[in-house]
C-alpha cells in the first residue's frame, strides 16, 4: 500500500515539467502549439478571402493557400507560445 502510493507520487513528479512564466513564475500558463497558432492567425484572413471571393472576384480563392503557407511559416517561428494568465505576458518557448 505504502509502496504503491510512493510510486504514484514518483510518477506524478516524473510527468513533463509544467512550463512557467518567466516574468512572474506563475504556472498558470497556456501553451499554444504551432497548429493552434496557425489556426488563430489564419481564421480571419481566410474568412475575408472567402467573403471577397463571393462579393468581388473568385480569384480571391487563390489567396487562401498563400495565407495558410505564409502563416504556417510564421507559426513555426513563433511557437510553441506560452501565454501567462496571471500577468498576460506571452513569450516564445524554444527548447534547447
Shortest distance, position 92 Cβ to Zn ion, whole Å = 14
**22 with 81: CB under 8 angstroms?**
no
By beta-carbon proximity to Zn ion, the closer residue of 34 and 91 is 91
Name the residue with cell 512557467: 20
Residues 79, 81, 87: CA angle, nearest 5 degrees:
165
> Any contact of residue 24 with Zn ion (CB under 5 A)?
yes
Shortest distance, position 75 Cβ to Zn ion, whole Å = 22
What count of residues does the chain have?
96
How many other CB atoms are found less than 10 A from the CB of residue 73?
A: 10
> Any contact of residue 86 with Zn ion (CB under 5 A)?
yes
> Any contact of residue 30 with Zn ion (CB under 5 A)?
no
Which residues here bind Zn ion, judged by CB under 5 A? 21, 23-24, 26, 84, 86-87
Amino acid at each position: 500500500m505504502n509502496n504503491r502510493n510512493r510510486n504514484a507520487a514518483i510518477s506524478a513528479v516524473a510527468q513533463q515539467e509544467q512550463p512557467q512564466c518567466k516574468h512572474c513564475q506563475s504556472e498558470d500558463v497556456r501553451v499554444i502549439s504551432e497548429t493552434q497558432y496557425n489556426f488563430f492567425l489564419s481564421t480571419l484572413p481566410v474568412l475575408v478571402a472567402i467573403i471577397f471571393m463571393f462579393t468581388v472576384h473568385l480569384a480571391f480563392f487563390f489567396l487562401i493557400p498563400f495565407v495558410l503557407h505564409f502563416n504556417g511559416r510564421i507559426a513555426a517561428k513563433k511557437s510553441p507560445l506560452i501565454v501567462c494568465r496571471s500577468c498576460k505576458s506571452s513569450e516564445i518557448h524554444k527548447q534547447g
